[in-house]
Chain A
Amino acid sequence: MFRDAWLVTKKDLLIELRSRILINQIAPYTLLILVLFGFALDADTETLRDTGPGLFWVSTLLVAILAIQRSVDVETSDSAIDRLMLSGISPTSIYLGKTIGLYLQLIILEALLFIVMVVLFDMSVVNYPLVVVSAVVTTLAIASSGTLYGVIASGLGVRETLLPVLFLPVLAPAVIGATRAFGDAFGRVNADGWAWLGLLSVIAIVYTLVGMLTYGNIIEDT
């Protein structure tokens, strides 16, 4: 199962490397969001530092929507997913593979976002392990639900509008938790970041399990 999944991941990453859409279009969009937030909040550095953790995760979600649509496009544009199914790879493996592929792309974008935010907002990190672990876990929640919801919203002619309406509420609890954890890691909020990680892990695991169990049902007839 995992070997097949890795094949799907490698295929997705290879396509991404060739097309360079992630680097040429999605990454600049990420930076634009952060800069716009900076303008909108009146360039008051203290305010930016306080809201930084929240802005980081909101930006990540907005960017994730684009990455998810890319990840689905790759399969549906020339009904490549039918061929994947015909090749005997199980839906669960396809799901895991695509989730990992999306996950790795999101991690790269987040790293970029993080560096830019620390520089632009002049933030100092108090607790690096917490930043890394909460990003690792939250991104799994985003990638697992994103892979699932990308397919759910696809092929109906209303993807651009339907995907955010479905996807963003599902990740609202994760954003709440991740913002608290980051706030703690940046020393801006008096919260126990590690306790919030518990919630984040539950969300990530539950979404991944639901995705593994139901993905087969929804790709049968895309």
Chain B
Amino acid sequence: MQRTEKQEFTTSRGTRFMGISLLIGIPTLLIFSFLLSPADDNMDDAVRLIYVHVPMAIFAYVAIITTGIGSVFYLWKKSRWWDTVAHASAEIGLMLCGLVLVTGSIWGRPTWNTWWEWGDVRLVTTLVLFLMILGYLALRQVPANPDLRAKRASVVGIIAAVNIPIVNRSVEWWENNTLHQKSSLTDGKLENLTLFTLFLGFIVVGISFLWLMTHRFRVGWLAAEIETEGIAGVIEERLNEANSGAANPNYQQKDDV
């Protein structure tokens, strides 16, 4: 990208384009969800919540898997780029996971007549994933050597990501008395307009995810830049105090991006 003007924000041409798409996409999704799409035979109008609930759930998974991939690549390449990706993605994943739980709960109240159903496997497993990412981010908040913290967080990130297929499989073992709408989205019985609105929901939530990812990644990158610079500054001061010429190799900036 050409830098002709002074860059002040984490915005770029790409994110601006995504932002404008969202300004158009979100109202369109709202119109389709509330006005154009029909009510469901079983769920009545509660189906209109699905258009934001299900896409958010899928992208919560995508976010956690991205964290897992970022973690694997960090341990492999030891590059800060991947570590920042993993961290950014986990934070957005937590956000989406939390909203999935809230909207699922709100949806469950009129549909199942309960806010929370322990027998429903997807609700419970989403909660488990939510708690795992909470732990991951708690670890990331601990003050420590950035490299050491990144390594340990990577292992936690990988474990969280491998749990996604595990908890998904557990649906099969648990399906005896689950309340969740297992088939409504996959058996093709949905009407065309419902399907289209859901598709639109995926696109809007997907663009939101990418937009947030890009911005959050850049914020993480800047924060790491400041952190390492701070450490480098301290080291330099110490070295000057001691009048020693030998630099500590551990704290040299790695240009490994």
Q: A173 with B163: in contact, given A198-B173, A199-B169, A221-B148 (CB under 8 Å)? A: yes
CB neighbours of B162 from chain A (8 A): 206, 210
B257 interface hit (Cβ, 8 Å)? no
Pairwise interchain contact B158-A196, C-beta atoms closer than 8 A: no
Binds B, one of A24-32, A35-43, A71-79, A164-172: A164-172
Q: How far apart sit A153 and B173, CA to CA, in the bound complex (Å)? A: 32
Question: Chain A residue with minimal CB distance to B75?
Answer: A217
What number of B residues sit within 8 Å (CB to CB) of A?
33
Chain B, 171-198, CB within 8 A of any chain A CB: 173-174, 176
B169/A202 in contact, CB under 8 A? yes
> How far, in whole Å, are A210 and B161 apart by their CA atoms in the complex?
11
Given contact pairs A158-B142, A210-B155, A217-B75, A177 touches B135 in the complex (Cβ within 8 A): no
Is the CB–CB distance between A195 and B173 below 8 Å? Answer: yes
- Give min CB distance, B76 to chain A, whole Å: 10
Check B105 for interface membership: any CB of A closer than 8 A: no
Q: A191's closest neighbor in chain B, by CB?
A: B176
How far is it, in angstroms, between the C-alpha of A165 and the C-alpha of B142 when the chains are bound?
A: 13
CB atoms of A173 and B166 under 8 A apart: yes
Q: A198 to B131, alpha carbons, bound, how many Å?
A: 24
B128 → A minimal CB distance (Å)? 5
Minimal beta-carbon separation of A192 from chain B (angstroms): 8
Instruction: Say whether A148 faces chain B, with CB atoms less than 8 Å apart.
Output: yes
In chain B, residues 118-153, which have Cβ atoms closer than 8 Å to a Cβ of chain A? 124-125, 128, 131-132, 134-136, 138-139, 142, 144-145, 147-148, 151-152
Whether A166 pairs with B128 at a CB distance below 8 angstroms is: no
Complex formed: what's the CA distance from A1 to B75 in Å? 22
Which residues from B are CB-within-8-Å of A202? 166, 169
Whether the Cβ atoms of B159 and A199 lie closer than 8 Å is no
Q: Which residues of B contact A191 (CB under 8 A)?
A: 176
**Inter-chain contact A214/B75, CB cutoff 8 Å:** yes
Q: Are B155 and A199 in contact (CB-based, < 8 A)? A: no
B156 at interface, CB cutoff 8 A:
yes
Q: Which of B145, B155, B169 contacts A214 (CB 8 A)?
A: B155
- Given the interface pairs A148-B155, A166-B156, A195-B173, the reply to whether A172 lies near B166 with Cβ below 8 Å is no
A112 close to B (CB within 8 Å): no
Complex CA–CA separation, A151 to B163 (angstroms): 20
Q: Which of B124, B132, B139 contacts A170 (CB 8 A)?
A: B132
Q: Give chain B residues whose Cβ lies under 8 Å from the Cβ of A218.
A: 151-152, 155
The reply to whether the CB of B170 lies closer than 8 angstroms to some CB of chain A is yes
In whole Å, how far is B65's beta carbon from the nearest beta carbon of chain A?
A: 15
Q: If A152-B155, A217-B151 touch, does A166 touch B138 (CB 8 Å cutoff)?
A: yes
**Given A152-B156, A202-B166, A218-B151, A169 and B138 touching (CB < 8 A)?**
no
Contact of B167 among A148, A158, A173, A196 (CB under 8 A): A173
Q: Does B66 contact A (CB under 8 A)?
A: no
Tell me the complex Cα distance, A177–B128, Å.
14
- In the bound assembly, the distance between CA atoms of A165 and B128 in angstroms comes to 12
CB neighbors of B among A133-178 (8 A): 145, 148-149, 151-153, 156, 158, 162, 165-166, 168-170, 172-173, 176-177
Whole-angstrom distance between the Cβ of B215 and the nearest chain A Cβ: 27
Establish whether residues A156 and B144, one from each chain, have CB atoms under 8 Å apart when the complex forms.
yes
Q: Report the Cα distance A162→B139, complex, angstroms.
A: 7
Shortest Cβ distance from residue A157 to the other chain B in the assembled complex, whole angstroms: 8
Q: How far is the CA of A149 from the CA of B132 in the complex (A)?
A: 12
Give Cα A221–Cα B75 distance, bound, in whole angstroms: 14
Nearest CB in chain A to that of B161: its residue: A210
Q: Is the CB of B158 within 8 A of A214?
A: yes
Interface string of A210-222 (1 = CB under 8 A from B): 1000100110110
The smallest C-beta distance from B33 to any residue of chain A, in angstroms, reads 33
- Contact residues in A for B160 (Cβ distance below 8 Å): 170
Query: In the complex, what residues of A have CB within 8 A of residue B139's CB?
Result: 152-153, 162, 166
Give complex CA distance A81, B145 in Å.
Answer: 19
The answer to whether B159 touches A165 (Cβ under 8 A) is: no
Q: Could you give 29 example pairs across A and B, Cβ below 8 Å?
A: A148-B155, A149-B156, A152-B139, A152-B156, A156-B142, A166-B136, A169-B132, A170-B132, A170-B135, A170-B160, A170-B163, A173-B125, A173-B128, A173-B170, A176-B124, A176-B170, A176-B174, A177-B173, A180-B173, A198-B173, A199-B166, A206-B166, A210-B158, A210-B162, A217-B75, A217-B154, A218-B151, A218-B152, A221-B145
List 4 tightest A-B contacts by C-beta distance, closest first.
A169-B131, A166-B135, A152-B152, A169-B132
